[in-house]
Structure 1
């Protein structure tokens, strides 16, 4: 799975409107801030195992929104999203990435995948 492509497909949706791009960017940014903040608060203030486990999960899942946010910010530049999706079968990729975006709930999964993609890109450059 390519995290940048996931962000691009999510931002484009079925119609590729500017409004959707802004909403998805806001979702990614708010996801990072709220989930990491709430998770950190739970870790700092709770004493029970369940609350701390929830805090760890919230921080890990919230951090998954960081690479999505960075890619979404880059894709907001004029023409960047269109260039990323040039020649793509949007409907097919929407179906594929709709399922793959469930990886967001696995703590740090998208962070690891984004690092893997960056390292592979660096090796190929």
Structure 2
């Protein structure tokens, strides 16, 4: 799964209205900050193991929004989103990623995918 392409397709949507990219950027930033804040609160509050474990899960799910937010910040520049989606079969890719977005609930998955992509890129350029 390509996290950058997921961010781009989500920001563009089905018809590419300009306000959607800002709405999705806000969603990604809120998911990151909100997930980190709530997760840390539940973990640091202590108490019974249930809320602490839930806090760890929320923190991990919130960290999935980090690569999405970073990519979204680079894609709001004029023309960046359109360049990213050049040559992409948008309807098919939108359908593909619409289902894959559910994987956000797996803690650290998107962060791990992005780190793996970065490591692979470093190895191939060396």
With the shorter chain as reference, the TM-score category is: over 0.9
Q: Distance in 2 between matches of 1:49 and 1:111?
A: 25
| Cα offset, 1:124, TM superposition | 3.0
Residue in 2 that maps onto 1:90: 90
TM-score normalised over the length of structure 1 = 0.96
Q: Distance in 1 between matches of 2:95 and 2:121?
A: 26
TM-score normalised over the length of structure 2 = 0.96
Q: Distance in 2 between matches of 1:73 and 1:62?
A: 17
Q: Distance in 2 between matches of 1:88 and 1:109?
A: 24
Q: What does the per-residue CA deviation read over 1:30-68, in whole Å, with 9 as the maximum and x for residues that have no partner? A: 111111101100001131111001100010000000000
**Mind listing any 5+ residue stretches in structure 2 that lack a counterpart?**
none
Q: Distance in 1 between matches of 2:117 and 2:36?
A: 23
Cα RMSD after superposing both structures: 0.8
Aligned length: 125
Residue in 2 that maps onto 1:78: 78
Q: Distance in 1 between matches of 2:119 and 2:12?
A: 26
| Cα offset, 1:123, TM superposition | 2.6
